[in-house]
Amino acid sequence: MDNSLKLQTDTLSRTARWSILVAFVVIWYALIQGISHFVFHVAPEPAALPQDLAAHLLFAIICYSLSGRLRFTLSTVVAFVAALNLCNAGKIQFYGTPVMPDDFIALPNLFMLLTGWQLAGAIAIVVLPFALLLLMINWRRRRTWLLLVLYVVAVWGVLQVAGPAVAMMDKVFRNSVWNQRGNLESRGVVIHLVQESLRHRVRSGSMPSAAEVEAALAVLRPNAAAFSPPAAPAGSPRRNVHMIVLESFWDAALLTGSGLSMDPLDPRFRELWRQAGDSHVLSPIFGGYTANAEFEALCGFPVTENHVYFESGLRNQAPCLPQILQEAGYHGIASHPNVAGFWNRVNAYRRIGFETYWSDRDFVLDDLNGEFLSDASLYRQTMDKIGSRADRDRPVFNFLLTYFGHVDYPLNAARPGMITTTDKNALLNAYVNLMYYKSRELMDFLEILRRDDPDGLIVLFGDHLPFLGPGFYGYLRSKLLTDNRAMMTDRMVYTLTATPLVVIDGRRGPLPLGDVPMYRLPAMILDLLGLAGPDVIRLSTPPGDLAVRPLPGMYWAGDGGRQTVCREEQQEQGPCEVTDRWLQALITVSRDLFSGSRFVLKAEPLAE
């Protein structure tokens, strides 16, 4: 009788604990979704709520099975559910896209960028959930170890069939490469991360074969063969090349809805830009991920996926612009006053051919705006170091990546605010005043550079548009962008990518170039120098006279008049049909060259 009563009591106790777990997860999930919706304006679609809640419940059940202790399980669930949902919502507001698998690879860079309470908070968000998970697991139970083995085997089995698994999930939960926010909202965060992690596994584990590369080359060669740069006159000296990548440099006068009291750009730059035909470079990124802009401007291939190429796409030694110029006798120098290893730059710069890399350790941090060295100091110190080189007889490829201009756009006391607006957006107000000084420091430097190196080739451009608030907030009053990429017009997609471009061809002066996709810059530079370079650098030549700006899952195409946005799931006949085959072939060759077996380097040369 006593044993029967005890068994009944234990059974009721287990039922109660499971009921508490389920009820707690439902209530906590609803609270977190409410915060995400009302604070960040991000939430799953109503139809996705049941499946998203079910995924969260499954996660909680797995945790409880490994713990058997309710209080430890609940604290772990609290941390993980809050971190997964709110970090995704925050990233959407900052970059317009949710957390992706490659973001976990980039976490060390995030920690290097932050300081003080921001660094402590970021570490806590990442470390606390996993610390609680380790404490939660009841390591002393034999049952726990059996379940761990079962779960590990199950995960391993799914990874072995990642291709079919992600195809099935795409069919059930949908997939839009160009609208990752829509993916998250139609799936829920847990399903989204599982689905994209499997896709990452497929992408990382399968490289193009020799036959696939040859088929892609058959598509690309006709356009590339038509590109024939003029030869430099015999005996002509090699000219220095100065490439200046300007952090968040953009024409802020376009913010017509914010009541700017004056044009932020220096009138000298405005005139120089006019002489250059108000040309624009089309960037692969918005608001961050500068390394992707660097990759395109140095290696001549587009970034088409939502990941940092220096981190996960550049695995091979590659014939990029620094290596090509080195073989032509140049000394390639990269200067950026940030932590040396940020975005894997130490390895990336070495793989693409830079001989010298000057980072924060190589500069005197004598003129800081917040954590960022001013452009004026960077320009002065870099040119002093270049002038004191032992091999001054060699031409130099001077790659300058500025740091001044990073969000949240601080200025020191020597740079008081000069511009007022009618906009209460603090980031916007800080940015337009930063541009006041950034453009003037640039022009002061250009005057000295053009005087001291009149024959030098100077290429300068903004790496991406600035972040001016969540959901493209700073751009909405001026009707430049909408708060959802999926709803942007063709013109808005162009605006999202376009930053000022000025190319000064020595004594010939500024060149009017129109709209230049960033990955076309290396071939253009070699053309202006009269250097043919290897055939591979010409493979990104687009069909006809089109400028094609690939973005994740879509691309903008323009010919100087008409412009079209081609989206993967909404392909149209006509202009999209012309460029889609070319772009897919270019992606195949790019993956082979930078991450795969480099069959492209063994292929037959282009027909002349």
Q: What is the chain's mean pLDDT, rounded?
A: 88
Identify the band that residue 312 occupies on the pLDDT scale cut at 50, 70 and 90: confident
* pLDDT score of 608: 41
* pLDDT score of 203: 72
- Strands (DSSP E) found in 406-493: 457-462
Average pLDDT of the residues in 141-156: 95
Residue 505: pLDDT above 60? Answer: yes
DSSP letters, 267-309, are HHHHHHHHHTTT-EEE-S-SSS-HHHHHHHHHH-----SSS-H
Share of the chain above pLDDT 90, in %: 60
Q: Which residues pair with 218 in a beta bridge?
A: none
* pLDDT score of 41: 87
Span 512-567, pLDDT tens digits: 999 999 999 999 999 999 887 788 888 999 887 788 999 887 888 887 677 888 88
Average pLDDT of the residues in 169-191: 84
The conformational region for residue 116 under phi > 0 = left, psi -120 to 50 = alpha, else beta, is left
**Closest to 197 measured CA to CA, from 151, 159, 148:** 159
Span 316-344, pLDDT tens digits: 889 999 999 999 999 999 999 988 877 77
Share of the chain above pLDDT 70, in %: 91
Residue 202: pLDDT above 70? Answer: yes
For tokens 């830009």, name the residue. 273
In this predicted model, which residue has the larger pLDDT, 104 or 250? 250
Give the global pTM.
0.75
Identify the band that residue 242 occupies on the pLDDT scale cut at 50, 70 and 90: very high
H helix or E strand, kind and range, residue 368: strand 368-369
Span 76-111, pLDDT tens digits: 999 999 999 998 888 777 656 688 776 776 677 667
Those residues whose C-beta lies under 8 Å from the C-beta of residue 471, and which sit 6 or more positions away, are 41, 93, 96, 483, 484
Domain boundaries in the chain?
Answer: 12-205, 230-465+495-531
How far is the C-alpha of 515 from the C-alpha of 495, rounded, in Å? 11
From 3.40.50.80, 3.40.50.300, 3.40.50.2300, 3.40.720.10, which CATH number describes the 230-465+495-531 domain?
3.40.720.10
- Between CA 412 and CA 419, with CA 415 as vertex, the angle to 5 degrees is 125
Contact 561, 495 (CB under 8 A): no
Contact 534, 299 (CB under 8 A): no
Contact 135, 511 (CB under 8 A): no
Q: Which residues pair with 242 in a beta bridge?
A: 398, 458
How far is the C-alpha of 165 from the C-alpha of 171, rounded, in Å? 10
Span 382-424, pLDDT tens digits: 999 998 887 888 999 999 999 999 988 999 999 999 999 999 9
Residue 355: pLDDT above 90? Answer: yes
Average pLDDT of the residues in 280-287: 92
Q: Which two tokens stand for residue 606?
A: 């282009």
Residue 603: pLDDT above 90? Answer: no
Question: Helices 70-95 and 189-205: crossing angle, nearest 10°?
Answer: 70
Identify the band that residue 1 occupies on the pLDDT scale cut at 50, 70 and 90: very low
* pLDDT score of 605: 63
* pLDDT score of 383: 95
Contact 48, 187 (CB under 8 A): yes
Average pLDDT of the residues in 500-508: 96
Span 462-498, pLDDT tens digits: 999 999 988 889 999 999 998 887 788 889 999 999 9
